Chains A and B, each alone.
Chain A
Amino acid sequence: GDSVTQMEGPVTLSEEAFLTINCTYTATGYPSLFWYVQYPGEGLQLLLKATKADDKGSNKGFEATYRKETTSFHLEKGSVQVSDSAVYFCALTKINNDMRFGAGTRLTVKP
């Protein structure tokens, strides 16, 4: 079945470092891809999305490009802040299907 694989964490970076969190997917057809962020004690917040190949989703300095040839949707940010510390989830969905999530990657940014 459809699935998402994320790089294992935790990831610890210093403030202003470059961030990459890898995400690859397995799916038939043409899924939409998402990144959600979860801060401690809170629910998931949509960070960005892409609905077709070569689309780039971006928000709050984060970016991810839908790469069909490599079945990937890696999350990047050029300069992380302490406030970016959270758990990041990659997810996919298709029409009339439930959303499939990766296991999450915990990011800690130190000042």
Chain B
Amino acid sequence: DTGVSQNPRHKITKRGQNVTFRCDPISEHNRLYWYRQTLGQGPEFLTYFQNEAQLEKSRLLSDRFSAERPKGSFSTLEIQRTEQGDSAMYLCASSSYRGNMETQYFGPGTRLLVL
């Protein structure tokens, strides 16, 4: 068990550019979550997958954001036409959902700065 990993750890981009982040969950975890965390705040839910199916999306996830989880393993989060307001830490978490109990384990995050 190597934990949840995220790449890159840091990304600086210019406004209007597209960026893509990757999350590798704990192996055999069937759920994968994306959160956004701005300075001084707790994480806010963006979306989650159970296996390869995207089951829920927050209203925070504008149409510039898209997430995928092909084959139910790693996931990517893409932001198109980035805006300065997208600057935040993007956190990924995974869990093994079995019945009525799950615990989410978080990765180290990708810190995005949009100039």
Contacts and interface: CB of A to CB of B under 8 A. Distances in A.
Interface of A: 4, 32, 34, 36, 42-46, 49, 51, 89, 91, 93, 95, 98-104
A108 to B, nearest CB: 15
23 contacts: A32-B101, A36-B106, A43-B4, A43-B6, A43-B107, A43-B109, A44-B43, A44-B106, A45-B106, A46-B105, A51-B101, A93-B102, A98-B45, A98-B48, A98-B56, A99-B33, A99-B35, A99-B43, A99-B93, A99-B104, A101-B43, A101-B44, A104-B42
A44 B101 contact: no
B100 interface: yes
Interface of B: 4, 6, 33, 35, 40-45, 48, 56, 58, 91, 93, 100-109
Contact of B41 (A42, A45, A103): A103
Given A43-B109, A98-B48, A98-B58, A103 B104 contact: no
* Dominant secondary structure at the A interface: strand
Contact of B33 (A34, A98, A102, A104): A98
Contacts of A101: 42-44
B102 A91 contact: no
A45 B4 CA distance: 11
Given A91-B42, A98-B56, A49 B106 contact: no
Contacts of A98: 33, 45, 48, 56, 58
Given A43-B107, A98-B45, 12 more contacts: A32-B101, A36-B106, A44-B91, A45-B106, A46-B103, A46-B104, A93-B104, A95-B100, A99-B33, A99-B45, A103-B42, A104-B42
- Nearest 6 pairs between A and B by C-beta? A101-B42, A98-B45, A44-B106, A43-B108, A43-B106, A43-B109
Contacts of B104: 46, 93, 99
